[in-house]
Amino acid sequence: MSYAIVGFGKIGQALAHAFARKNIDVTVASRRPPEALAPQARAIGPTVVAKSLREALEADTIILAVPFGEHREVAKALPSWKGKTVIDAMNAFPVPEELDGLPSSAFVATSFTGAKFVKGFNHLIAATLAADPVVKGGHRVVFLSSDDEDATAPVAALAKQLGFAPIKLGKLNEGGALVHARGHTWGQLIFQDLFKKEQ
Ligand SMILES: NC(=O)c1ccc[n+]([C@@H]2O[C@H](COP(=O)([O-])OP(=O)(O)OC[C@H]3O[C@@H](n4cnc5c(N)ncnc54)[C@H](OP(=O)(O)O)[C@@H]3O)[C@@H](O)[C@H]2O)c1
């Protein structure tokens, strides 16, 4: 499996810390050239490598960590998303009217046709997401939701590898509603920093 994070701001860097902590290779990219991101990538760890957006999108699994409105620009950068897994770590808040009642991830998924699409890593503030998820006796929880059940398992495996405890919430408009915003209200699980005890 190869991984890329698109967007190297607060959430992109928080996730890069998680990959670096476990020595897992990850490519990071934004609209800026890789040379502009390289010092910060290097500072996070040797497994974090800045590349151009085009090169980053060669990864099998791509985490979206850009402002919500930018997802279409990222989607346009590949002619086809078939065979890719896309993890949506974005939040739409307040919810734009164009969503017309759809969960934001279901709306985003329509731009990434053919991809296996999973919402995850979106419910914590960046500083918390960046911190070690392994605490005495437990692992920080991340919630995963998807309309494609098969898509969730490899993302859950990645979350575990990164030291998190993945909790599957089911479909985007079912359990996933708990990690989406509605209008000006956050879903009930957003900002809930939970830990799962070792079994
Ligand atoms: N901050 C939080 O605590 C938090 C928590 C949970 C979820 N989120 C969600 O995570 C996402 C990112 O938030 P953030 O706080 O990390 O934002 P941020 O600090 O502003 O970072 C956004 C990143 O996206 C890049 N970017 C913007 N447009 C792009 C494009 N078209 N293609 C490639 N890269 C692009 C920017 O870099 P360039 O300008 O170089 O392109 C920047 O690196 C948002 O959807 C937000 O709702 C944030």
pLDDT of residue 137: 85
Pocket perturbation via mutation, ligand 1, pick of 27, 31, 51, 191 by most ligand atoms within 8 A of CB: 31
User: In this structure, which amino acid lies at residue 102?
Assistant: L
Q: What share of the chain is helix, strand, coil (3-state, %, to 5)?
A: 35, 25, 45
The alpha carbon of residue 76 and the mean position of all alpha carbons in its chain are separated, in whole angstroms, by 18
Pairing of strands 138-145, 181-182: unpaired
Instruction: Report helix, strand or coil for 61.
Output: strand
CB-ligand 1 contact for 107 (6 Å cutoff): no
Higher-pLDDT residue of 136, 156: 156
Whole-model pTM: value is 0.98
Distances (CA, A) of 80 to 38, 60, 84, 116, 121: 28, 13, 9, 12, 24
* Mutation choice for ligand 1 from 6, 8, 11, 71, CB with most ligand atoms inside 8 A: 11
H or E element, residue 75: helix 71-76
Give the model confidence (pLDDT) of 105-131 as tens digits.
999 999 999 999 999 999 999 999 999
| The pLDDT of residue 33 is above 90 | yes
Mean pLDDT value across the chain: 97
Q: Considering the domain 3-192 in this protein, what is its CATH number? A: 3.40.50.720
